[in-house]
Structure 1
Amino acid sequence: MYVENIGLKGLVADLRVMEEIMNKNNLEIDGQWDYERVTFDKKYIVKEGTYYLRVFGELVEGDIDGRKATVRLKQPVLGKHYYPHGVEYGEEENFPASLVKDCELTLKKVYDELKQYSL
């Protein structure tokens, strides 16, 4: 499920600043990067299952490996984890309303902090 109307999609910023703000809001990279992409995850474990809020980013310029990069964010997404298959993002998934609200609040905080550093 895409989390819309937050303002993060298309935001461009320095990766070091972005990572600091994301970590402050419990969104972590934890090895989810390559040389052109990065993913920030927030894991939720609730009675309905395990969910991940994911914010994907793509390299604009620089070096993600060295954390000296400019990154453009994509549309945040919420998915449910199914063992052993992975995370499903489909619209047919049921997401608890309280979970969706927390994701929206988290992303709004990230946006409010990160927008001042937007390039």
Structure 2
Amino acid sequence: MRLENTGIEDSVVELKPLDHLTGKHAFIRAGQWDYERVTYDYKIGSKEKNITYYIRIQGYAIEGNVDTGNAVIKLMTPLLGKHYYPHGVEYGEGENFPETLIERAQTILSKVAEEIHQYKR
């Protein structure tokens, strides 16, 4: 599910401050990057058996390279996904998400967006 109008989409931020501020809000980049793309995931547990939700922020380098740490990243519209064990995460519009989960995701993303605005280019 696309989480529209968060204030994150189309933001342009240098990689190092982006890594710092997303990490501060418990988003993990870990090994989810290549030379020109980054993905940050926020894990949300669920009482449902074998179900975990994720908020995903993705971006791509418009300058520099991610591996050297000097990239400038343009962020995309955040996603809300549902992980089905053992199949993987589904971000499709056909997924059903509890309204409380959507509200929680929007609250988390609004806090990240506030900080991103301090570092926007």
- What's the TM-score, normalizing by structure 2? 0.93
Q: CA deviation at 1:97?
A: 1.8
> How is 1:6-21 mapped onto 2 (pairs within 5 angstroms)?
6-21=6-21
2:77 aligned to which of 75, 78, 82: 75
Greater strand proportion: 1
Q: Which amino acid aligns with 1:75?
A: T
- Provide the C-alpha distance between the structure 2 equivalents of 1:98 and 1:26, rounded to a whole number of angstroms: 19
Task: String of CA shifts for 1:6-40, please: whole Å, max 9, x gaps.
Answer: 11110001010011110111111011000110000
The number of residues matched between the two structures is 119
Give the gaps of 5 or more residues in structure 2. Answer: none
Residue aligning to 2:52? 50
Q: CA deviation at 1:50?
A: 0.4
The alignment partner of 1:28 has SS state of coil
Task: String of CA shifts for 1:22-81, please: whole Å, max 9, x gaps.
Answer: 011111101100011000000111113201110001011112012211000001000101
Identity %: 47
> How is 1:85-104 mapped onto 2 (pairs within 5 angstroms)?
85-104=87-106
Residue aligning to 1:116? 118
Q: Which runs of 4+ in 1 moved over 3 A?
A: none
- Provide the C-alpha distance between the structure 2 equivalents of 1:100 and 1:44, rounded to a whole number of angstroms: 11
Aligned-CA RMSD value? 1.0
> How is 1:16-31 mapped onto 2 (pairs within 5 angstroms)?
16-31=16-31
Q: Which amino acid aligns with 1:87?
A: V
- Provide the C-alpha distance between the structure 1 equivalents of 2:74 and 2:104, rounded to a whole number of angstroms: 23
- Provide the C-alpha distance between the structure 2 equivalents of 1:46 and 1:99, rounded to a whole number of angstroms: 10
Give the gaps of 5 or more residues in structure 1. Answer: none
Q: Which amino acid aligns with 2:81?
A: G
